Structure 1
Amino acid sequence: MSIETPTQPTPAASDKLDRQVLVIAGVVVLGAIMSILDITIVSVALQTFTQVFDATAAQVAWTMTGYTLALAAVIPLTGWAADRFGTKRLYLTAIVLFALGSALCALATSLPMLVTFRVLQGLGGGMLMPLGMTILTRAAGPERIGRVMAVMGIPMLLGPIFGPILGGLLIDVASWHWIFLINVPIGIAAIVYAAIALPKDDVQPSESFDWLGMVLLSPGLALFLYGISTIPETGTFFATKVVVPVVIGTVLIVGFIPWALNRHNAHPLIDLRLFKNRNMTIAIVAMSLFAISFFGAGLLFPLYFQQVRGEDALHAGLLLAPQGFGAMITMPIAGVLADKIGPGKIVLVGISVTAIGLGMFSTLTDTTSYAFLMLSLFVMGLGMGGTMMPIMSSALATLRDHTIARGSTLMNIVQQVAASIGTAVFTVLLTNGLLDSITGSTPPEEIPGATADVYGDVFLVGAVLVALVLVPAFFLPRKKIEHQVDPALMVGH
């Protein structure tokens, strides 16, 4: 699919998203909500899985790990497949795979069956976000990329807010099967909506498929993330179960780099030539640091409420809502301003506010007032709303046609890998901190306070890492981006 964008946009096109773009945005948001909600819903069901399937926590963790590995394997293929088959056809296929995988998950009678069907879900879910970004960016044009990224941020906000709440309700009121069955009617609605609303594909003559790149990159990413995902189970970075897959995965990924940059390889699986774009490179560095720190620390918020304050999954999810509400306020404003004055200024403010909010959380105890904690989450949400989407808009605003699909794929790979690293790092910091601070001789009445202190220390690490994002953010464009085709980006296209 290729939708040409005018070289000189009309004022109206630059000022707001028209009805056609909003209709297409509805399709993309529905698909992304389905995918992101599923991740957060399943996270609250892990304890239930251990009881239903009589399994250990490490074994049921494969319901999450299998999904993540499928994402890692399929995301690199998305850019090529979008160019080859068309974004509409591929998007419909992704929704069908996700909905079918969801239905099969609900029918699973054993843990291995559930993990297998979660992999099928991941194959569909992994394509939804990069495809959605490609479809929206092409439809709206680069002049409105900030607004588009603000729209894409909606499911990223709603998932963490409503996922734990919805998951807790479904498990308590019905059964664990319904956390998967709920995706089926949503998937059917998304298929019908997409079939009607998305423009017909205009597929150009196909590029050759990079088989060697696939053999190197997809298994490389899957092995690397498998090793990283195993760190919380082993408690150390140096266990054989971690080191072997991480090293093999890293070797495969490093081997992909010279092959992707080889001048005889006109259509690499992931176009690393995009790094010739200064904005793209800086944005990827900023996104990596932000995803490691923010998503890593974000995993611990519900754990604090459950482990230290004794809240159940439903109430922990409700207590996290202020973060989403804060981001809802700033995200649309940041999208408009990023288009008008450039993303750099917006991101610098957003990062500073996020660091302040996370720094407030680092002072918590086992008796810190909920009002203070919810204020901290609200402040973090305000900052996140002005950070994540403007960074992405900075990366994608100068891309055109084929490079849009490749650029959004690259950004999603980076975000997925960085978020997995952050989750592993912060889980290990928390686990080891608790082991060092709480022993068998610790008086029971001191355990909540000692546990809260460990959480506070880990959140402080998160605040420092978020503040470090200010360094690459300083180099992001701090004026309106001029939308010109960069010849260096069109190599091979």
Structure 2
Amino acid sequence: MSAASTAAGRLPAGSSDAAAGPSRAATFGFFAMVFGMFMAILDIQIVSSSLREIQAGLAASSDEIAWVQTSYLIAEVVMIPLSGMLSRVLSTRVLFTVSCAAFTLASLLCSTAGTIGEMVTWRVLQGFLGGAMIPTVFATSFILFPPAKRAGVSVLIGLVATMAPTIGPTLGGWLTETFSWHWLFLANVPPGIIVTILVWRTVDIDKPDLSLLKGFDWLGLVAMAAFLGAAEYVLDEGPRWDWLEDGSVRIAAVVAMTAGILFFWRALSYRQPIVELRAFQDRNFAIGCMLSFVLGIGLYGSVYLLPLFLGTVRGYNALQIGQIMFVTGMFQFMSAPLAGFLSKKMEPRAMLALGLTLFGVGVYLNHDVTNQSSLSELFLPQAVRGVSLMLCFLPINTLALGTLPPDKIKNASGLYNLMRNLGGAVGLAMINTVIDHRMAHHMRHLLDQLTPARSVVTQTLDAMSGRFADLLSTDPDQAALRALMSMVQREASVLTYADAFLLMSLVFFAALVLMPLVHKPKASQAPADAH
């Protein structure tokens, strides 16, 4: 590393410039970076409530359309840990502006896609380059702001990082219902151009170090991309195709295992690894990553599970789902000042324990869903979950990175963000597996109760058959039987979603056992927001 890069990396530790804080222009540029990060995180979930409309527009199959979301996630997961090395090679300003400009161009290309192949190609580019913006923002906040101002910056970043996935379905549903699915991507273009220009002109916090390219670990890069990409594919496609029963999932699992062994060997033995894994030797960082993984399960899992319930059981459209999901975002926004205040007054471990407990309670309250659950029944669970997110996010950052030296922050930021995204991937795989298995279990159990020996069954069928006889020209007995089976499937779905909510809440309650293992970080070392 060059002297200039080293100096830049050490600047926040105690220089007079760091103590004085950033200039007004640099602060403005940083806020532009935060908005760019918001777009990158938002695009993970913004398509989730509009996949049916995109599928119709691209004439894609139900299996193919899932790749609109999967391709973005895989590409983003590969870029996030790579960003630490790239920011040192290119500088923060160059990496962010190139990433934002390419993300904006890829968004425009996504809106013009006419086939599923084109859409997946542009989504890969969008996710890969957009992923670089996320950890870059966290590292920049540590470099730009002195310790006295990091708590407020941490609240802002935490609010953006956790609210973007929450409001993604809401915004996506509104754009699709009001305009068309193309605006899911076109909406990124004007702000993307503005952010690119602003960051290039106002943010200049470090210098590039091209000498790092001389020892660049290309083999490690390929191994990391293959490992993370294949692992993400297995987690996403496994539940849909019964895991290793499917040939493509089986091949991806072998690739992930082989590439993973090679990647970890290179990371631990190469003199200049792509990703510095030795940060995991710090106990707080290792446990913080585990807690970030748990937060990813809840953050992405809940945003996936509740809309799925509302769409399949309640039959809500994208806009109706978005309106219910907005409750979480609203309470998250309102609780941000409270979280910022508590982060200064409460011991981080106590605040985190409170946040994990509230999130677990919020998800647990959802396990009482019925086939008539609507906004009135779902309001309280959503509100509790919204308040808990910021109470989890801020102390996890402080506890994980409070014991790391400043020169480790850039590399650690990529690993830390990666764990949250991997938690989301594992959470989605877990949810889909639970849904498949528990749905079959509940269907068998309910069908076992539908025997002619039970008078309530025959009476119900007779009553339904009588109603259909007055309305239909077809066989009323067959119509009654189909209607009864539809009711059984609906109730089995309700029980299945209740099981999934209960399991997710148990994950958060179980995470509380990690609290005694965490060391309280020293005040002088606590980069509360940088990851």
Q: Give the TM-score, by structure 1 length.
A: 0.89
Pairwise CA RMSD:
2.7
Q: 1:210 is matched with which residue?
A: 217
1:288 aligns with 2:293: yes
Aligned CA distance change for structure 1 residues 175 and 149 (closer, same or farther; 3 Å): same
Read off the aligned partner of 1:258 and give its amino acid letter.
W
Residues 22 and 353 (structure 1), Cα distance of their counterparts in 2 relative to 1, 3 Å cut: farther
Aligned to 2:514: 472
Q: 2:124 aligns with which of 119, 126, 133?
A: 119
The residue aligned with 1:315 is 320
Structure 1 partner of 2:500: 458
Mapping of residues 290-305 of structure 1, within 5 Å: 290-305=295-310
**Alpha-carbon deviation of 1:448?**
3.1
Counterpart among 232, 238, 259 of residue 266 in structure 2? 259
8 Å CA contact 1:227, 1:244 repeated in 2: no
The amino acid that maps onto 1:473 is M
- Give the C-alpha shift of residue 177 in structure 1: 1.7
Distance verdict in 2 for CA 1:331–1:240, change over 3 Å:
farther
Matched, 1:248 2:255: yes
CA distance in 2, matches of 1:112, 1:10: 49
Distance 1:373 1:21, change over 3 A: farther
How is 1:417-436 mapped onto 2 (pairs within 5 angstroms)?
417-436=422-441
1:186 equivalent in structure 2: 191
C-alpha distance in 2, partners of 1:402/1:223? Answer: 31
Query: 2:140 & 2:506 partners in 1: Cα distance?
Result: 36
Query: Offset at 1:344?
Result: 1.3
Taking the aligned partners of 2:26 and 2:66, their CA distance within structure 1 comes to 39
- Which residue identity does 2:64 align to in structure 1? Q
Q: CA deviation at 1:171?
A: 2.1
- 1:23 CA displacement: 2.5
Count of residues in correspondence between the two structures: 481
| Residue 484 to residue 422, structure 1, CA distance change in 2 (3 Å) | closer
1:227 corresponding residue in structure 2: 234
Q: Distance in 1 between matches of 2:196 and 2:374?
A: 45
Check 1:369–1:317 CA distance in 2 against 1; reply closer, same or farther (3 A cut).
Answer: closer
Does residue 268 (structure 1) correspond to residue 268 (structure 2)? The answer is no
**Measured at CA, do residues 45 and 117 of structure 1 come closer, stay the same or move farther in structure 2, by a change above 3 Å?**
same
* SS of equivalent residue, structure 1 residue 311: coil
Structure 1 unaligned runs (5+)?
Answer: 486-493
Greater helix fraction, Structure 1 or Structure 2: 2
In structure 2, do the counterparts of structure 1 residues 49 and 119 end up closer, same or farther at CA, with 3 Å as the change threshold?
A: same
User: Which residue of structure 1 aligns with residue 154 of structure 2?
Assistant: 149
Residue 488 of structure 1 corresponds to none
- Range with bigger deviation, 173-182 or 363-372: 363-372
- Alignment CA distance shift 1:215-1:204 (3 Å): closer
CA contact (8 A) 2:366 2:498 kept: yes
Inter-partner Cα distance in structure 2 for 1:369 and 1:99:
37
SS in 2 for 1:233: coil
**1: CA distance, partners of 2:247 / 2:288:** 34
Match of 2:92 among 78, 83, 87: 87
The residue type paired with residue 171 of structure 2 is L
Residue 490 of structure 2 corresponds to residue 448 of structure 1: yes
Matching of residues 25-424 of structure 1 within 5 Å:
25-141=30-146, 144-199=149-204, 201-204=206-209, 206-207=211-212, 208-236=215-243, 238-262=245-269, 265-338=270-343, 341-368=346-373, 370-424=375-429
- Farther off after superposition, 450-459 or 348-357: 450-459
In 1, Cα distance between equivalents of 2:152 and 2:17: 16
Is the 8 Å Cα contact of residues 29 and 198 (structure 2) preserved in structure 1?
no
Change in 2 beyond 3 A, CA 1:86/1:401: farther
Question: 1:432-491: CA deviations, max 9, x gaps?
Answer: 322333479753334433321211111000000111111223333446544299xxxxxx
Deviation at 1:165, TM superposition (A): 2.7
TM-score by length of 2: 0.83
Please report how far the alpha carbon of residue 274 of structure 1 lies from its aligned counterpart in structure 2 after TM superposition: 0.6
Secondary structure of 1:234 counterpart: coil
* C-alpha separation in 2, matches of 1:162 and 1:293: 15
Partner SS for 1:310: coil
1-structure distance, mates of 2:390, 2:118: 38
Cα pair 1:24 1:136 within 8 Å, conserved:
no
| Residues 175-233 of structure 1, C-alpha deviations (whole Å, 9 max, x = no match) | 22221111111111111221233125423463231222112212111111111111232
Structure ID, larger Rg: 2
Amino acid aligned to 1:279: N
Amino acid at match of 2:263: F
Cα distance change of structure 1 residues 183 and 312 upon mapping to structure 2, 3 Å threshold:
same
Query: Is the contact between residue 130 and residue 409 of structure 1 (CA under 8 Å) also seen in structure 2?
Result: yes
Matched-pair contact (CA < 8 Å) for 1:340–1:480: no
Alpha carbons of 1:107 and 1:184: their partners in 2 closer, same or farther (altered >3 Å)? Answer: same
Contact 2:399 2:520 in 1 (8 A): no
Q: Distance in 2 between matches of 1:484 and 1:7?
A: 13
Letter in 1 for 2:511: V
- Give the Cα separation in 2 of the matches to 1:364 and 1:233: 24
